[in-house]
Structure 1
Amino acid sequence: MRSPLLAVLLLASAPACSEPSEPRGSTTFAPDELSLFAELRTNGGTAQVLVTVLGGGTSITLENHDRLSLAEPGGPEQALVAGGFGYVAQLDTSATELDLVFSRGSQRFVSKLVAPPPFSIVVPSAPASRASPIPINWDAADGAFETWLDVTAPCLSWPISRYFAEDPGVYAIQPADLAIKPGTTECDFRVWVTRSASSGTIAPGLGASPAPGGLQTRSISISTSP
């Protein structure tokens, strides 16, 4: 599964039995009984944060004066809103470090969200022949970062997906990788490179939680010919 946060959210939202139940509210728990599962995603211009709050091992909702907010360090805070399996917020920023704040009355618990280093992708500027390897290069990063590369196109019968335990900074699409639909001439490939790491910290005073995840994603188009 691509995102460990999604796995946690699915587990947290799964009913313990067949009886329907309403999620409990956050004020049922002391702060040190609350766990935050957080992930920061950025494309270099927009940052999105996804958070689920757990109490007693199950997903709960924020209530009364409990709130989550997001901010660049020292900047104005933006409230997270309920969405999907938890709470979300989005900022127009290129920052790779953001503060996630859980507030209860006058108490503030500031967690640090950290995305992997940014990078750019370089591909052939002229239409690339699908009969030869098509090089893709990006800025390799120091450190242990998992990396995914995905290639999609209307002319491909199925996408190309590659996983790297460490960031290689280079990949070549091989002719044998391509399942081209019959009759295809020119075709634009869309390349996605995602760099992943768990390097943030949850605020002291909150319950035991995994390190927040961080994703840095870039995308680029490649024109191709037979």
Structure 2
Amino acid sequence: MLKSNQLTGLSNLNCPALTYIDLDSNKLTGSLPNFNLPSLRSLQINANQLTGSIPPLNLPELTGLGLKSNKLTGSIPYLNLPKSISIDFSNNQLSGGIAQVNLNSMVGLNLTNNRLNFDSMEYIYSRYFSVFFYPQANIKINSKNNLLSVNAGGTLSKNTYVWFQKQPDSSSFKGFKQAVGDSTLNNPPPGSYYAMVTNSASPLLILFSDTVSIGLQLKLSNPNSSMINP
């Protein structure tokens, strides 16, 4: 156990008899190495500064895996973790899909506070029920030629999109369009907008978009401030 120190590096580990690793709350940087640890039962590297993607994991004895609160990116790779296991990948920057996994005895999977969308969640939710994935980071809202759109992933026909518009002279937003399978908002009047997306195959996740303002002129608090003195 080497948690809560000032360790900064993490090299490849090849220790066949090692059963427990706890490197929480250090200052580890760089990417995760390959692990050749056939006897390992617990791997905890939470609250560090690891970057890059999660490598494929083949750890037949592992029952606890913690990589939360790092800066990991990319998709979730192949995981061959056949034992009854609890996994925490929360508070990273994971995105994209999920590769084939062998998690037949999974106790819990925490994916909250990443950048995942319904591409990942439809797959996970149909196979595993002890999954936590709300909230996720806001999805991007696209604006082009007076057309707003969002990409929430998943099967389009299973997605319900609700568009919200900021009310005049108010900080509140009101939903004004709801559609199944239609991720666009065409010719909206000037205003500020965001979208909320749900998916019938992943009922426990709600995705929100960023807020975008279109067709609004900047109001100056002092009308004379726009004048240029000679």
Do both share a fold (TM > 0.5)? no
Give the alignment's TM-score, normalised by structure 2: 0.33
Q: Which has the larger radius of gyration?
A: 2
Query: Comparing both chains, which one has the higher relative contact order based on Cα–Cα distances under 8 Å and sequence gaps of 6 or more?
Result: 1
**Higher strand residue share:** 1
